[in-house]
Structure 1
Amino acid sequence: MASTTTHLQHVITSDKTTLKLNAAASLPAVPIPARKGGLLSSLPPSLVPYAELLRLHQPAGVYASLVPTLIGLFLAAASPTLTRSSTSRVSPLSLLTLSVTHTVGNTLLRGAACAYNDAIDAPYDRLVARCKSRPVARGAVTSLQAHIFALFVFGLWIVTLFTLPSPETVATPAALLVATMAIYPFCKRITHFPQLVLGVSLAFAQAVGYGSLGVSFSNMDLPTQIGLGCLYVSYVVHTMIYDTVYAHQDLEDDLKAGILSMAVLCHGRTKIVLSGLAAVEVGLLAATGWTLGFEGWSYWIGAVGGTAMALGTMVRLVRLDEPRDCRMWFARLLWWMGACVVGGLAGECWLRV
């Protein structure tokens, strides 16, 4: 965790000038623009910055963190290789209950991660047009307050884990998820691949999902571990795809501020890179289905075919030089891929006898 007492940081910009960032300086609070609708408009002004830290007004991020968890959950319910026998089934009520629990938990975890990220990234956020009005960057809350708030919300997430049927099989992947998430905010300072680190982190949520049904990766045979590994890497690659598209919103500001990302690295050839990553993702989803024994049409048409169609459509149509279009396709990728894979697995659950 970055120290809030650090006074100066230096960033080398693309034109070789040096910017001095005062990470600890307090800024005058920026008035919050009047909002005509949405959740934030119904809250007392003193609570608005904390709701913004949680990103309650941006539900797409909750969905992004929830999807890998639901993939793991429905995978365990659908695959005969991950359950005690080919005839065992998880009841629809149990799946619904666990889905609700994970939704609450992921909302808390994502909120804690955003608050932590805002506290760490405030000096950089002040240089990016889209981010400079965030609560810590504009001075509505201090970095210390954001850290304390993040720790409190993180504690609430821990409580939700203990309500799961098998918290013991969730503990290790949950710890790995949090550890890698803590590293992520620093990566844009040292590597062009923060999207890879984010994917490595979020994909651990798959193991939280199937772990909540008592499935432990370490207890699986080698072929099943290979299948789960393919699924894990497929979500790492998927995160790299959608977050690279998302990062193109801030490309010009990132180039000026010296912020690193795959969008900066691949600038001018991003669609070629995205096409290659899309092919890898679809191939890994197919390898997962083959290794874990999915023989029904639902997984192959929904998860594999649907994901291929969604990715292909995005690569063909997205206009990477238009921030609004990048954000639109970022959201579409989240919703479409999640619906395809989780829907395909849910169909496999229904088809099992």
Structure 2
Amino acid sequence: MTSSKAKILVTRRLPASIEARMATLFETDVNEADTALTPDDILFGLEGKDVLVSTITDRIDAGLIARLPQSVRLIAQFGNGVDNIDLDAAWSAGLTVTNTPSVLTEDTADMATALMLALPRRLLEGTQMLLQDRAWAGWSPTSMLGHRLRGKALGIVGMGRIGTAVASRARAFGLSIHYYSRKRRPPGIETPLEATYWDDLDAMLAAVDIVTLHTPLTRDTHHILSARRLASMKPGSHLVNVSRPELLDEAALIEQLEAGHLAGAALDVFENHDGINPRLLDLAQQGRVALTAHMASATLEARIEMGETVIVNIRTFMDGHQPPHRLLPETPVPRGPQA
């Protein structure tokens, strides 16, 4: 008897409770090794499957999409970001793509806020001092002087769900809220936060003390913090990025930090195709940069909610309905035959 359950390939290990539910609901094949699969590995694992449950470590480009088995109809991304997937190619091939938005908001906002605190208060530098120098002489009036947050200006690039959550937390620390976004937020959001809207990103960058990035990665936002804009930031300011590395010109950021124009940066994401830039690691050793291991959303609660969202997307799609978190390319083109 042929099973009516959806057949899925899961490319990375997920929380045990999610894997157990998937095993109950679907015919599930999980990558037990939990390492990034090669394109050939993905294609081999997808033979006879209906759904690819992908993550950000899977490069699903046009070439791979063109070679997918015809049985595959859905790419259910475990994650909010989908810049690893060629949405245009998927759309043209008649594939549906979904993601897991919203569930990461609170955890990502917590991380961004923690890094905003860590930079001016030199938290990581103080920890390293104790770990690396056993002869620490103890407290003195001029040791490890940082800067107070209250009274500083925070500039948020992208005032969506996460940006708004960051703004709410920042107000509790006495920061004034400034933001740049494609559209101005309604008074119901602006007024409680006493937020100032800027329609000119360059002008905002020159006026604020801390900049934090929370805009999606699109064609328009790639390197939204270009070399020119990084140079135009307020001298002595700080930068936080827990979003996507492609939002800023990393090489230009390093130059501005090394030159002393920027006081510091905190990065949870970085251009690491060939390993983290050694100059960034040197700056981290100097206490000028805080580097964290892409962990802004790394809570058990978030990962379970992400998995539950993937399950909802798959079940809705397999029942013949449009999944709640379906994604479309920026400029849809005519579609090819339905898979």
Compute the TM-score of the two structures, normalised by the length of structure 1: 0.27
Greater strand proportion: 2
Greater helix proportion: 1
